[in-house]
Structure 1
Amino acid sequence: TVSEYLARMGASISLTARNADTLDAHAKTLRDAHGAEVFTSAGDMSKEDNIVVAFEGAVDAFGPVDILVANAGIGKSAPFHRMELDFWQATIDLNLTGTFLCCKQVYPAMRERGYGRIVNIASTVGLRGYPYIAAYSASKHGVVGLTRSLALEAAKTGVTVNAVCPGYTDTDLVDEAIDVIVGKTGREAGSVRGEIESTSPMGRLITTEEVAETVAWLCLPSSAAITGQSIVVAGGSVTN
């Protein structure tokens, strides 16, 4: 959805993800619905080699990168006393190190050109703790810290660096979490969803469109004075 908003703004779109079929289907939608130019590169975004290939391909296709939206991530849950190192490492590698590597691919050139927009997708769990998701929370706290630090380094370069922190959003990830809870507890899916919705003062899940609009706004040239921010899109469930 973020890519659709950017396509409407006239951006050429480069997409990366693990699944080539999913990428191709989304690229077709962007071309057919928005007339966008689209480049795709399938690969594991926790691996530096794959990231380098993806970004080199994007530059070859469309020239220097003006906007980066670092959105790859996983959010599995586990009790801390049962969490294995490989579980922890896989989460950190994709959510935090992957974000670092993507920023590293675009920031030097943005800095030299004097313009760029970097938006890292974090989460409300990057601002406060939640039980059973220690690895996910630690990785997203790291993304917020990375964002704030890089923003200060970039403050006089024309490059802005911000994080968007969604709350519970109506996505496949939430549906999968509900299925896990149903499988472990025997509760009805509707009851579990209602409990999740009740954590928001608005009493509902955030929509992907609401997150995408926030990201797109941060990517505008007119958002030049907004940097180093962790913008919460969570219906009031986290306030400063």
Structure 2
Amino acid sequence: MTEIGLPSGVRACLFDLDGVLTPTALVHAAAWKETFDDFLRERDGDGFRPFDATADYDEYVDGRPRADGVRSFLASRHIELPEGDDEDPPDKQTVHGLGNRKNDAVLEKIRTQGVKPYPGSVRYLEAVRAAGLRTAVVSSSANCRDVLVSAGIEHLLDVRVDGATAKERHLPGKPHPDTFLAAAADLGFDAARAAVFEDALVGMDAGRAGHFGFVVGVDRVGQAAALRQHGADTVVEDLADLIGATA
């Protein structure tokens, strides 16, 4: 292992955004809760069963493309909505309308609250680049660039593959490995020479399915065992924990 905690053959690092580089997973979870609770209240009245911002978020929406998250959660409640399309207004009762309602909520939270990166993640990004490795961010969010700019870390990443990229290239989202594979290819490496850094279980599944050289689970919420079960080679609470981890 190198002094940045990776096998010596790894030359590219592929980072998820929310929960790995920035604490925006909490912002997304809050926006999903606001969106789904409003929808369920409108549908079922005041006796509705609320969206759980931890359990439901982790199980059904974390790391998934927006529309997939809507479908997954609604299916868990045996609710079906028409698909609609990307241009649906946020008050339309469709999969895409509900997704756009969530997107409006998260953009408002980012605008009013701002975004700061995890300090340990900044340290690790700088250490990785100082060691000569290439870096990419791989996110299902279409707002990825806005978050990177707000957090002041866009310059530390050579490649960005996000929700907009996936749509343009027709790449399926996590748990499929395609977005990570695309980022590695954009950096000039195959999967065996790349490491994946993820906090979401579907991200672990993507790392395992893509046969990447190393998969790092980032445990911000106490799910280390689940991250390992889903394919993590190692689990850390903060990326800075990898610095000097040569054993």
Q: Could you say which TM-score interval applies, normalised by the shorter chain? A: 0.3 to 0.5
**Structure 2-normalised TM-score?**
0.33
**Structure 1-normalised TM-score?**
0.33
In terms of fraction of residues, the more helix-rich structure is 1
